[in-house]
Amino acid sequence: MTEATGSTTRNPFGPRFTAPLLLGSTLNPINSSMLATGLLGIGIDFHLGPGQTASLISVLYLCSAVAQPTMGKLSTLFGPRRVFQAGILILLVAGVVGTLAPAFGYLLVSRALIGIGSSAAYPTAMALVRKRADTVGLGVPSRVLGNFSIAAQVTVVIGLPLGGVLVGVWGWRALFFINIPLAIIVFALTIFGVAPDDPIPSSGRGSVLAAVDVPGILLFAGVVTSLLVFLGNLTTPAWWLLAVFAVLLAALLLWERRVPSPLLDVRMLARNRPLQRTYLRQLLIGLGTYAALYGTSQWMEQSAGLNPLDVGLILVPFSAVSIVLARISSGRGWIRGPLTITGISLIATALVVLSLDHNSPVWALVAMTLLFGITNGLSSFANQASLYVFAPAAEIAVASGLYRTFSYIGAIFSSSLIGLTFGRAATDAGLHALAWVLVAIGSVVVMLVVFDRALPRTANR
């Protein structure tokens, strides 16, 4: 019996098991946030403008949105531990490519590989957690899911400062190099902390490879790409992309209904209305939170005249409240209550934003960020627990990956929403227009919870 296997009965979710999964799941969001500090230096070194260097951000989002469910699918076929470790090795290669990049194109390749490799962590971690919880008959491991939520919050806090330190001391290449030691650490921790997968039957290797559903993956990639590119620029929308999205989506649904081992079990998704509502809530909450957070940050700098350091300090309560509330709600396994309060707090945030102008006192801005924290902290665990409750055990990896895809859609949609409401400058009028949109989003979230009879009060009911 290995150490990892023996610990299943003694302490099924001890640090040996959870540490590599938690650290691995932070690698995608932390790479998303760190890069912002290095874009200027990359542009100077390669003689590029802001629009070109910003493609390094979008390529990671795009690859991640496609890769998350795909990695989940691969984990159901080849084993979650194998796919988790394969993703970490891809991240290691990405770190080497980015560190040694002689031209900008290599950085694009590196960021694409970072998106693909780091996307393996979250869906496979959820599959490993589900397998262990079912083995010991634990039900929903609320505290473990809460730790994933808190890890995401901590990543938001440390991403930009960590990137700033790395760039300030070693230059922008350190943003890529840091993935090398992180990948080695996570890979080693996985070897000693996570039990190996069951062997793939030798007689079934050919059938397993056939079950990968490459056409489904390609169609899904086309659906996500066309949608994200369309949503990324709604100020001058390319309507033909919406038509492409509709055609590819229809083709994907038809294809997935006829293959024996689809990437997405569309029949299950069509029947599973609670899971559909979970995805919709995740998209809306992500849209509202990102739009409020980044929209008000821009407004505080442009209209309120605050410097970036002041804005960062004002946003500290956002992260602190998010972490505290995620721990409280996960410790008690609450789902319905926190999700209801999430929508209400988003509406309350919007009402506070409506009362602000460029002369508003700092305490009013801090009150606004506290409400942001309530929205983010309560929703992060509760909606993740909802996913865990409603996703079939055999589909948890793909379902978790798709959950992250909806998060990316909300994040990218938020940038266009900010552009539509603000226009060329973050004025008071634009901020108030954004607030009315947040009122609408919060109202829909409340209705999705109140009228959802399937949504449990707590995780294990």
Name the percent of the chain lying above pLDDT 90: 48
**2 inside domain:** no
Domain that holds residue 331: 269-461
Q: Which of 23, 316, 314, 34 is nearest to 168 (CA)?
A: 34
pLDDT band with cut points at 50, 70 and 90 for residue 33: confident
**229 inside domain:** yes
In Å, how far are 1, 232, 257, 371, 401 from 253, measured between CA atoms? 44, 24, 6, 39, 18
- The Cα angle at residue 281 between residues 275 and 284, in degrees rounded to 5: 145
- How far is 410 from 79, CA to CA, in rounded Å? 30
Segment 333-389, tens digit of pLDDT = 889 999 999 999 999 999 999 999 888 998 998 998 898 889 888 888 899 899 999
Q: Which of 72, 78, 86 is nearest to 201 (CA)?
A: 78
> Are 411 and 304 within one domain?
yes
Number of Cβ atoms within 10 Å of the Cβ of 254: 11
**1 inside domain:** no
> Are 186 and 39 within one domain?
yes
**207 inside domain:** no
- Last residue in a domain, options 198, 225, 242: 198
> Are 250 and 301 within one domain?
no
> Are 241 and 95 within one domain?
no
Give the per-residue pLDDT at 1.
39
> Are 237 and 188 within one domain?
no
> Are 239 and 150 within one domain?
no
> Are 461 and 411 within one domain?
yes
Number of Cβ atoms within 10 Å of the Cβ of 165: 14
**103 inside domain:** yes
> Are 129 and 149 within one domain?
yes
pLDDT band with cut points at 50, 70 and 90 for residue 48: confident
Domain count, the chain: 3
pLDDT band with cut points at 50, 70 and 90 for residue 156: low
Widest CA span in the chain: 71
In this structure, what token pair is assigned to residue 329? 């709600």
pLDDT band with cut points at 50, 70 and 90 for residue 267: very high
> Are 160 and 111 within one domain?
yes
Instruction: Please tell me whether residue 160 adopts helix, strand or coil conformation.
Output: helix
**3 inside domain:** no
- Last residue in a domain, options 198, 224, 250: 198
**306 inside domain:** yes
Q: Which of 159, 156, 158 is nearest to 369 (CA)?
A: 156
Model confidence, pTM: 0.87
Give the per-residue pLDDT at 5.
47
> Are 75 and 126 within one domain?
yes
Secondary structure E strands in 170-326: none
> Are 460 and 338 within one domain?
yes
- How far is 105 from 111, CA to CA, in rounded Å? 10
> Are 63 and 94 within one domain?
yes
**206 inside domain:** no
